[in-house]
Amino acid sequence: MASGKINVSVENIFPLIKKFLYSDHEIFLRELVSNATDATLKLKHLTSIGEAKVEYGNPIIEVKIDKEGKKLHIIDQGLGMTADEVEKYINQVAFSGAEEFLEKYKDSAKDSGIIGHFGLGFYSAFMVAEKVEIITKSYKDEPAAHWTCDGSPEFTLVPHDKTERGSEIILHIAEDSLEFLEEFKIRELLTKYNKFMPVPIKFGTKQEALPKPEDAGDDYKTEYLEVDNIINNPNPAWTKQPVDLTDEDYKKFYHELYPMQFEEPLFNIHLNVDYPFNLTGILYFPKMGADLQLQKDKIQLYQNQVYVTDNVEGIVPEFLGMLKGVIDSPDIPLNVSRSYLQADGNVKKISNYITRKVADKLKSLFNENREDFEQKWNDIKIVLEYGMLSEPKFYDKAGDFVLYPTTDNKYYTLAELKEAIAPNQTDKNGKLVVLYASNKDAQHSYIDIAKEKGYQVLLLDSPIVSHLIQKLEADNENISFARVDADHIDKLIQKEEETISKLSDEEKNKLKETLETVVPKENYTVQLENLDSNAAPFMITQPEFMRRMKEMSASGGGGMFGMGNFPDMYNLVVNTNSELATTILNSTEDAQKDLVKQALDLAKLSQGLLKGEELTAFVKRSFETLK
């Protein structure tokens, strides 16, 4: 029997391990199962190149709970170790790694991600165990070894009679960690971290129904067979080639990733790159709401099929954070802090690659089946519009597939839109005016007026539209966007011909004075216009610039400082050629006030601005006139 003292300068390293890594102590299981997987895959490699003269077979990893004995076992059928290797790898290498780790990271250990990289994987067992045993038999023809350590630098190492190849780690669970003897807890951790690991993981057994024999009578009772309960899927979809997967396979995998998600994804993007870094994965576009916030942190990050995190900030471009799916890369340095990660050159390359790949896929989906792409547009547009604003590389490619729908459900790319509206919607200064609505119902009357003129009206209703059109105007010469209710249509797209006013200048001044005694100055600017006599007599518009700045201010970023708190300002456009204008002029003072009040309320009503007390009074007043 050998016993000894592990050679460490820190008197007792175990309390330190426990203290520094305690915030995340559940990862001990991920680390130990990862070690078992490594040992198994290394053996596979050695047998395939003929270096290990043993049968690889169909090895599994088993996790077993012994509740009464307060023990947790992790058993593999991998390489195993000789006594000399235990001495080297467990007592020397892992411990020097542990010391180095504590020296270097004791201030930031909680932010250190995967700890296995420091050779600390095995020692994370002491976060939950008061004593740890290793019983191990190497694939080489040497006796098995039994190592025991009780969380002090003393250990014992003795021969053992184990005959099967592989290692068994036995954790004697400490009193403060008894939750790790609960079946539901271990199942939860295995499902979280090890769901897609490349070696089958057995956790208990389950009953499987045997097929009913063809000659079975009516009284046949289903027979069951007890089989291993394999908790993981060792060959997840992202490890396969896209040619080997059907649409159905991708959907099935989506539901495997998100068991609580009942809606089907719209489409997926399979990532597969081996130069200049290794990365595989599948990203899914789920149906999107208009809310940008709710969707974050749904992409899962793996390293060689081991789950790491679902916070992929910095690795995935921000606008794709709303997608779902998996990214697996051995090249992402996960053992360091987030700030380091964001400054890492490899990570930036990965982010750029994902952006390019997503743009290419969207372009091909658009080209292959435009009709289908148009149908899905409203469910994906928020991501793409956000991408155009936040990612210059994506913006450069967006012209190929970003769509601009009209209120009549026609879909244009920007180039097609310019071509379609140029003949009719170019104003007298040669500027192309793109009309849009943000709400089909609320702006219905304005849309109608524009359509009567033969104009196309886009429907742009995302919360970030103001930012987007600001950018499009800046990048496209001679184009401006105007919401249909920003002014009277003839002012939005000014043509050469002027309509002459029926009223003299004197009459106009008199009309304006009358209006301004009734119309509240703090919210409305009165604007007299010589319009077609059939146009609405009173019309409320909201100036494009002010409204847009307010919206940009409200949705964060851009806009003028503090404009979100400004009261809403409107123009009251009064058509001097309408019969109502003449009637107001020719009425008595009291009648004028009543007419202006009623006309203003009607204009407010058509903009959805008549509410509460004002609406009640208006309805009451309108009924009075019916008597």
Cβ-contact 383, 322 below 8 angstroms: yes
Q: Which residues contact 94 (CB under 8 A, 6 or more apart)?
A: 119, 120, 121, 122, 123
∠ CA(281), CA(285), CA(288), 5° rounding? 150
Count the Cβ atoms, other than its own, within 10 Å of residue 48: 10
Q: What is the DSSP letter of 426?
A: B
Cβ-contact 77, 47 below 8 angstroms: no
Quick: pLDDT tens for 140-152: 999 999 999 887 7
* pLDDT score of 31: 85
Cis peptide before 234 (omega within 30 of 0): no
* pLDDT score of 202: 96
Rg (CA), the chain: 36
Structure tokens at 617: 């009074």
Structure tokens at 416: 């097609």
- CA–CA dist 445, 485 (Å, integer): 9
Location of structure tokens 């009074």: 617
Count the Cβ atoms, other than its own, within 10 Å of residue 411: 16
Give the length of the chain. 627
DSSP string, 7-29: --SSS-HHHHHHHHHGGGTTHHH
* pLDDT score of 108: 47
Quick: pLDDT tens for 380-392: 898 899 999 999 9
Strand, helix or coil at 52? coil
Count the Cβ atoms, other than its own, within 10 Å of residue 451: 17
273 closest CA partner among 191, 230, 330: 330
Which backbone phi and psi does 348 adopt, to 5 degrees?
Answer: -65, -40
* pLDDT score of 373: 94
Q: In whole angstroms, what separates CA 313 from the centre of its chain? A: 10
Cis peptide before 463 (omega within 30 of 0): no
Q: What is the DSSP letter of 210?
A: P
Q: In whole angstroms, what separates CA 356 from the centre of its chain? A: 17
What does DSSP say about strands 570-575 and 524-529: parallel, antiparallel, or unpaired? parallel
* pLDDT score of 559: 46
Cα dist from 293 to 322, 326, 342, 491, whole Å: 8, 20, 21, 38
H-run or E-run covering 532: none
- CA–CA dist 247, 266 (Å, integer): 11
Cα dist from 282 to 350, 388, 424, 568, whole Å: 14, 22, 45, 46
- CA–CA dist 95, 89 (Å, integer): 8
Is the full-model pTM beyond 0.85? no
278 closest CA partner among 302, 255, 310: 302
Question: Dihedral of CA 431/433/434/436: which sign?
Answer: positive
Count the Cβ atoms, other than its own, within 10 Å of residue 497: 7
Structure tokens at 549: 């700045």
Q: Which stretches within 240-369 are classed as H helix?
A: 247-257, 338-343, 345-368
Residues of the chain with pLDDT under 50: 10, 22, 105, 108-119, 294, 336-338, 558-561
